[in-house]
Structure 1
């Protein structure tokens, strides 16, 4: 695998023996230990972790409150606040599940996992142009991605972690599950994999700044939405297939959904394409709205630079 960033993509553990890395190693050790606990206990600990974050992570709580207020105006103030708290709990469980994805064999969760729509993958691969799996930042991100590879062969695009040691652990774990781990900026590598009729996990549902975007609605709010998805599909001829993964609410278990490919995509109209992508992700989020990463400033970039910051100057 080509290293897109030598500093952050150094995955040799021998490079991180200096004492400055010891606190990170301690955190990794705690993640490993927690991953050995029974799943029900991990979910309980995850919810309590979310409760603590809800209470003390004021900035992230504020961002989540703004997002949910914007996206669910039909809910009462009490219902919105309940969803905010539930979202913190779901993402707390997601933190616990990172350890499961990195340090456990996801195959052990097959008995409590159900896959829906796998026939769409087989039909799309028969076209020979590759599949761009249109994912989203759900709280099951890491574990859901690992579970997917129990059923299909896939590659993944990732944004490298800011901590080089955490990035090394994350990348090595994903390399055990995926064929290739591509840097999120490595579009040439992505196109090469699609040309080989590979499946590549790809997410577009975050605010990446003002470059190469249109402002398409997401939950009825203008959101900076990248146009790269259309360019990739145009250049490669690949199938763009929505998929999602969620944990069950009332019993330990997971569901993975593969959906029919987007039709008439790309259409030649960037706004129409971005609107379709956003609406597709929005439909999945509505299945389990608490399991989405509402802590991200999805509406940070506004249509006009003179538009007010929806999150306030103190939100980071």
Structure 2
């Protein structure tokens, strides 16, 4: 069934794909879905100073972008890397990839994060960290569609960390999406939009250990299916204090600053604060 849905969306031009995705998002908003409840709680938590009407507007826009993210998955996954690249209308900051330092791509769940590694791996090998899925069939489908050509996936466990470290030593790019709750192991509580959230420590540890250059990397989703704008921006996430807590707080601030530029394109339908916020209320 999942394969059929992915193929259905893969056949469409991007403009139609995003139009249908928008309708899916609008349905999620109008139907009082679980996604809407999670987004509502996150928007309330992160933007408490917005008027209720402004919060509702952001919730609707966010779910519409969520719908686009769902529909574009088939378009991105089942398309070739070169076809994906055709939809990148502009790339900002590619010169930062030329460095003698190891490079870590900090890729938040913002815009179309799936396309970043696929497009960049056309020119240089990249190893991306990912969280394995519980169901074996879904896991196999994910690996089949993500791990191709110069893009290698590393699971979020000890073997995966070793794979990332090996890629760094081979002067290859590594990519990490660090803005989800990884559980107590390998995390600290750090502020994100003014509320403590369990936050991954791996990225800052690798950056400090390897004296790596960190590039904030995101693909902004353009309106009306016009494609994506790819961005790479050097960021400093290593604090003067040198503590893990201070480093992670800096990393979260970098992500927060990006999210504030276009908050509807962030993944708000994930329970980011599940360690400290009651999502059932």
Task: Decide: shared fold, TM above 0.5.
Answer: yes
Q: What RMSD, in angstroms, separates the aligned Cα atoms of the two structures?
A: 2.1
Name the residue aligned to 1:13.
none
From 8, 16, 39, the equivalent of 1:64 is 39
Q: CA deviation at 1:228?
A: 2.2
1:1-316 to 2 correspondences below 5 Å: 26-56=1-31, 58-113=33-88, 114-123=90-99, 126-127=100-101, 130-185=102-157, 186-250=160-224, 252-262=226-236, 264=238, 268-302=242-276, 309-312=277-280
Could you list the per-position Cα deviations for residues 180-233 of structure 1 after superposition, in whole angstroms to 9, with x for gaps in the alignment?
211121211111111111101101101122233332211121222222223222
Contact 1:156–1:178 (CA under 8 A) maintained in structure 2: no
Contact 1:100–1:106 (CA under 8 A) maintained in structure 2: no
Greater mean deviation of Cα atoms: 154-163 or 228-237: 228-237
Contact 1:194–1:200 (CA under 8 A) maintained in structure 2: yes
Helix, strand or coil at the partner of 1:295: coil
Inter-CA distance 263–222: structure 2 relative to 1 (3 Å threshold): closer
TM-score (norm 2): 0.90
Contact 1:233–1:265 (CA under 8 A) maintained in structure 2: no
Greater mean deviation of Cα atoms: 292-301 or 230-239: 230-239
Q: CA deviation at 1:152?
A: 4.1
In 2, Cα distance between equivalents of 1:295 and 1:243: 21
Q: CA deviation at 1:141?
A: 2.5
Could you list the per-position Cα deviations for residues 257-292 of structure 1 after superposition, in whole angstroms to 9, with x for gaps in the alignment?
111142646852122211110011112112221111
In 2, Cα distance between equivalents of 1:102 and 1:83: 28
Q: Which runs of 5+ in 1 are unaligned?
A: 1-25, 303-308
TM-score (norm 1): 0.81
Greater mean deviation of Cα atoms: 233-242 or 90-99: 233-242
Contact 1:100–1:143 (CA under 8 A) maintained in structure 2: no
In 1, Cα distance between equivalents of 2:137 and 2:188: 35
Could you list the per-position Cα deviations for residues 80-138 of structure 1 after superposition, in whole angstroms to 9, with x for gaps in the alignment?
11111111111111111111222112423444421110111112xx23xx211111112
In 1, Cα distance between equivalents of 2:116 and 2:60: 22
Helix, strand or coil at the partner of 2:171: coil
Q: Which runs of 5+ in 2 are unaligned?
A: none
Q: CA deviation at 1:161?
A: 2.5
Helix, strand or coil at the partner of 1:259: strand
- Structure 1 segments, 4+ long, off by >6 Å, are none
Could you list the per-position Cα deviations for residues 14-36 of structure 1 after superposition, in whole angstroms to 9, with x for gaps in the alignment?
xxxxxxxxxxxx33123113211
